[in-house]
Structure 1
Amino acid sequence: MSGVLEELAAGASGDTTSWFVPGRIEVLGKHTDYAGGRSLLAAVDTGHTITARARQDRVLRARSEGADGTVAIDLDRPEESAADETEGHWGGYVAAVAARLEKNFPGQVRGADVTVTSTLPLAAGMSSSSALVVGLALALIDLSDLAADPAFTREITTVEQFGEYCGSIENGQSFGTLAGERGVGTFGGSQDHTAVLCGVPDALVQYSFCPVRHERTVGLGTELALVVAVSGVEAAKTGAAREAYNRVSRAVSELVLRWQEATGGREATLADAVASAPDAAARLRELAADDEYLVGRLEQFLTESEQIVPAASDALEEGDLAEFGRLVDLSQAGAESGLRNQVPETIALQRLARDNGAHAASAFGAGFGGSVWALVPADGAEQFAADWSAAFRAAHPDRRDATTAITRPGGAARRVR
C-alpha cells in the first residue's frame, strides 16, 4: 500500500487535516491518457496546501487565498451547489468533489471549513485544477474516514487506482461500482492526478493509462533543471474554453466509435484498438480518412504515445540529450499540427527556448494557452530564464504578465503534519 493510502487508512488525527498536493509538468504525453496511451511526467516542488477543519453541521465552506469568494455547499443537497453559479469558477471543482463523494458515500462526508493556499500558478498548465481536486478529495476522505468504507477498499487498493478515481471525479465517469456524477464538464483522463500522486523526487515517471500502469522511473541528474515559462494566456478548462478542450478528446471517442462499428471490436480505448492487430493503425487511418482533423489527431496519438515517449525515456536514460531534444521537438510539432491546441505565445516560447540553448523544450498541459518547459543546465538556469523572458517580451510585448520559474521534479502528495 502506498504512502497516501496508508495515511488515509490511518485517518486524520482529530478534527483537522492538511495535505500538500504538487503541480505537475507533462514532459511528454499530450492528450494521450484518456486514449489509453502513455506519458512522461514530473511532479514539481510547488503546489496547493489544503487544510480542512470539521464542522458540527453538514456544510462545506471553502475559500482560497488565491481566488475570490467563498464557496458554500450543503452536503445534504450538493447537486444544487454544482449548478450554474459555479460555472467557470474554481468553486466548480469544490462542488464536483463534494457531490461525487456524497453520491459514493452517502451521509458520511463531514461538513468542513476548507482553506486552500498555493504556490502554484493558476491556469498555467501545471495542473492547478486537478491538484485541487486531488487535495480536496484527500482532505474530505481523510476527515470523514471514508477510506475505511468497504465501497472504498473494494475499488481502491493502489495509489494508481486512487488517481483514476480522482480523474473520474473531474470527468464525471464511474469508477467500478463508485457511480459517476456531473464532474466539471471536461472529458479528460487521469494523467494529472497520477502525476501528483505518484511523482518521484529528482525523477520523471512514465505511465500508461486506462488502467494506470507504471512503466518506468527515469532519474534526472542534479546537473539539469527545468525552467517553466508561463505564457500569460490562461489555460482554462472551464467556461468558454471548455469546447475547444473537449474537441480534442471527442476526436478520440469518434475514432474508437468508428473502429468498433467497422470491426465489431469491443476495444474501449484508442490504444487498445491500435494494439489489437498488426494492421490496426493502417485500418484506423482508413476509417479517419474523410475527416482532416481526425487524421491529424490519430497521427499525433500514434507518434506521441507509441514512438516519442518510450524513445525519449531511452534517450534520457542513456544521457543522449540531443536525441531527447529532437524527440521533444517532434512532440511539439504534433501538438501544433495534429492537436491544433497551441497559441502564438506557446509556439514562440518553445522556439525561443531552443534558440537560447535549451536541451529540449515543449508546451504542455491542456493547451490553448498555459506554459512551456525547458530542460537546461542547472548552473545556468537563472541566466537562461532571464534571457528567455527578455526574448519573449520582445516578441510579445503585450504579455507583460508572463513569468518564469526554476524547478526540479518533486515528491508526491503528502500529509502536512
Structure 2
Amino acid sequence: MRVVEAFRETFQAEPEGVWHAPGRVNLIGEHTDYNDGFVLPFAVPWGVTAAVSPRQDDVVRLRSLQADGVVTLGTLDEAEGWARYVAGVFWALREAGHPVRGADLVVDGDVPQGAGLSSSAALEVAVCVALNDLYGLALDGMGVALAARRAENDFVGMPCGIMDQAASALAQEGRALFMDCRSLATRNVPFDPAAHGLRLLIINTGVRHALADGQYARRRQECENAAKRLGVASLRDVTDLAGALGRLDGDERRRVQHVVTENHRVEALIGLLRAGAVREIGALLNASHLSLRDQFQVSCPELDVAVEASVRGGARGARMTGGGFGGSVITLVPEERVEAVRDSVTAAYAERGWAAPETYPATPSAGARRLA
C-alpha cells in the first residue's frame, strides 16, 4: 500500500494502522443542510487514506503525498493550508475533552481535484476515525462527523453544514444516506442504479468562478434573514409556501422557494427509490437543477451546459451538485447511452471553446473504515 510505504520512508517505522474515508456526491438536497432540511448524499469510490501512529508527546508530524515535505506542528496554530484540516481535528477532539496527544501521519488522496466531491471532509474524517481508534475515544459515526465538522467550522473557518462529514463517516455501499439535518437522524436507503440498467456519471467541469468567494456565506445569511422575517426557526419550518412567498420579495423570496421545494424533492426521490422506480428519479434531478439555477442562483454556464447536453444526449436527468459556481454535475444515464452523453457534453463544450470536462462513473460506496 503506497501510504504505508511512504510512512516507513518518512518516519522509519511501521504505522499502527491505516484508515480510509471517502469523498461524497450529493444526489439531491442542495443548500438545505444549513436550513435544517433534508439531504441525500452517497459516498464515492475516491477518498483519503491515512497511515497513522500515536506519539507520546503533543507534536503532530504529517505528510501528504499530494504535497511537498513533512509538516511538524509543535502547536496546532502553526498549521497552514491543507494541514489546518488535520490540525483542526486534533483541536476539536481536545476541545471536547478527549485525551488525544500527538501523532505521525501520512495521507494519500485520490478525490478528483476541483470536482466538489468534498476531499476536505474525507481528510478530516480519515484522521478522526484514526484518532478515535488509536486513543479509544468510542465515538460513533455521527460523533466522528460532528468532530470533523467542528474542525472545519471553528478551526479552518469554513461555515459548512454537517452533510459532507456525515456522508463520509456513515455511508454504506450500495446505499444513499438520507439525513435530517435538524435531528441528525440518518437512514441508509438502497440505491443501486446498475441493477436498473443505469449509470451515474460525475462530470467535473474543472472550473471555479471567483463569484463563489463569499457567495456561500451570503446565501446562508439570506436564508437566515428570510426565516426571521417569516417567524420560523429555519426555512425547514415553512409549511405554507404560497403564504411565505407572498410576504417576501427579491432574493429572499427566491431562496425560500428553492429550499422548501428542494426538501420536498428529497422526500419524493426517496419515495421513488423505495418503490424501485430508480429510472423515474431523473425528473427530480432536472427540477433541482432548474431551482438551483433560477431560485438559488448558484449555477454557472459550464454547469448549465453540462446538464443540458447530458439530457440531450439521453440522460434520464442531471443536476449540478455541491455549492455551485463550478464543480460537478451528476447525471443518471442508461447504460447504453453513456458514450452518447459523454460525446454530447464534449461537443457542447467544444462549441464554446471550453476544454472537455472529465467524466467519472460513480457507484455508492462504503464510508469510513479501518483498512489495516
Into which bin does the TM-score normalised by the smaller protein fall?
A: 0.7 to 0.9
Q: Distance in 2 between matches of 1:242 and 1:17?
A: 38
Partner of 1:253: 224
Alignment CA distance shift 1:386-1:302 (3 Å): closer
Counterpart residue identity of residue 285, structure 1:
L
Residue number among 183, 204, 220 corresponding to 1:211 in the alignment: 183
- How is 1:334-413 mapped onto 2 (pairs within 5 angstroms)? 334-378=291-335, 380-381=337-338, 383-384=339-340, 386-388=342-344, 390-399=346-355, 402-413=357-368
CA shift for structure 1 position 128? 0.9
- How is 1:125-204 mapped onto 2 (pairs within 5 angstroms)? 125-147=116-138, 158-172=140-154, 183-204=155-176
CA shift for structure 1 position 122? 2.4
Residue number among 235, 248, 256 corresponding to 1:270 in the alignment: 235
Partner of 1:101: 93
Partner of 2:63: 63
Counterpart residue identity of residue 282, structure 2:
G
Q: Distance in 1 between matches of 2:187 and 2:152?
A: 24
Counterpart residue identity of residue 387, structure 1:
D
Given that residues 203 and 329 in structure 2 are in contact (C-alpha distance below 8 angstroms), is that contact kept between their aligned partners in structure 1? yes
C-alpha distance after superposition, 1:130-178 (max 9, x if no partner): 111111212223223333xxxxxxxx5x423432342233222xxxxxx
Given that residues 160 and 213 in structure 1 are in contact (C-alpha distance below 8 angstroms), is that contact kept between their aligned partners in structure 2? no
Q: Distance in 1 between matches of 2:351 and 2:64?
A: 34
Q: Distance in 1 between matches of 2:343 and 2:59?
A: 49
Given that residues 39 and 208 in structure 1 are in contact (C-alpha distance below 8 angstroms), is that contact kept between their aligned partners in structure 2? yes
Structure 2 residue 225 is the aligned partner of structure 1 residue 243: no
Alignment CA distance shift 1:141-1:34 (3 Å): same
Partner of 1:39: 39
Given that residues 125 and 235 in structure 1 are in contact (C-alpha distance below 8 angstroms), is that contact kept between their aligned partners in structure 2? no
Counterpart residue identity of residue 224, structure 1:
L
Report how many residues are paired.
Answer: 357
Q: Distance in 1 between matches of 2:288 and 2:64?
A: 35
Q: Distance in 2 between matches of 1:392 and 1:371?
A: 16
- Greater alpha carbon shift after TM alignment, 218-227 vs 388-397: 388-397
Q: TM-score, normalised by structure 2?
A: 0.86
C-alpha distance after superposition, 1:269-296 (max 9, x if no partner): 331x32xxx54x455435533xx11111
Counterpart residue identity of residue 372, structure 1:
V
Residue number among 281, 284, 299 corresponding to 2:257 in the alignment: 299
Given that residues 19 and 135 in structure 1 are in contact (C-alpha distance below 8 angstroms), is that contact kept between their aligned partners in structure 2? yes
Partner of 2:6: none
Given that residues 359 and 374 in structure 1 are in contact (C-alpha distance below 8 angstroms), is that contact kept between their aligned partners in structure 2? yes
Q: Distance in 1 between matches of 2:78 and 2:252?
A: 37
Q: Distance in 2 between matches of 1:310 and 1:216?
A: 14
RMSD across aligned C-alpha pairs, in angstroms? Answer: 2.6
Partner of 2:7: none
Partner of 1:119: 110
Q: Secondary structure at the match of 2:326?
A: coil
CA shift for structure 1 position 388? 4.4
Q: Distance in 2 between matches of 1:141 and 1:351?
A: 44
C-alpha distance after superposition, 1:343-375 (max 9, x if no partner): 211111111111111111111012121111111
Q: Distance in 2 between matches of 1:408 and 1:199?
A: 12
CA shift for structure 1 position 392? 4.4
Partner of 2:3: none
Taking only the aligned residue pairs, the percentage that are identical comes to: 30
Q: Distance in 2 between matches of 1:257 and 1:73?
A: 43
CA shift for structure 1 position 320? 4.2
CA shift for structure 1 position 52? 1.2
Counterpart residue identity of residue 270, structure 1:
L
Q: Secondary structure at the match of 1:232?
A: strand
Partner of 2:10: none
Q: Distance in 2 between matches of 1:324 and 1:370?
A: 22
Q: Distance in 2 between matches of 1:395 and 1:171?
A: 41
Q: Secondary structure at the match of 1:288?
A: coil
Q: Distance in 1 between matches of 2:145 and 2:30?
A: 18
- How is 1:43-54 mapped onto 2 (pairs within 5 angstroms)? 43-54=43-54
Alignment CA distance shift 1:90-1:392 (3 Å): farther
Given that residues 309 and 345 in structure 2 are in contact (C-alpha distance below 8 angstroms), is that contact kept between their aligned partners in structure 1? no
Given that residues 235 and 370 in structure 1 are in contact (C-alpha distance below 8 angstroms), is that contact kept between their aligned partners in structure 2? no
Given that residues 43 and 200 in structure 1 are in contact (C-alpha distance below 8 angstroms), is that contact kept between their aligned partners in structure 2? yes
Q: Distance in 1 between matches of 2:301 and 2:175?
A: 30
CA shift for structure 1 position 330? 0.9
Alignment CA distance shift 1:159-1:55 (3 Å): closer
Given that residues 42 and 365 in structure 2 are in contact (C-alpha distance below 8 angstroms), is that contact kept between their aligned partners in structure 1? yes
Give unmatched runs, 5+ long, in structure 1.
1-13, 148-155, 173-182
Partner of 1:81: 78
Q: Secondary structure at the match of 1:348?
A: helix
Structure 2 residue 370 is the aligned partner of structure 1 residue 415: yes
Q: Secondary structure at the match of 1:231?
A: strand
Q: Distance in 2 between matches of 1:283 and 1:185?
A: 36
Given that residues 161 and 212 in structure 1 are in contact (C-alpha distance below 8 angstroms), is that contact kept between their aligned partners in structure 2? no
Counterpart residue identity of residue 128, structure 1:
S
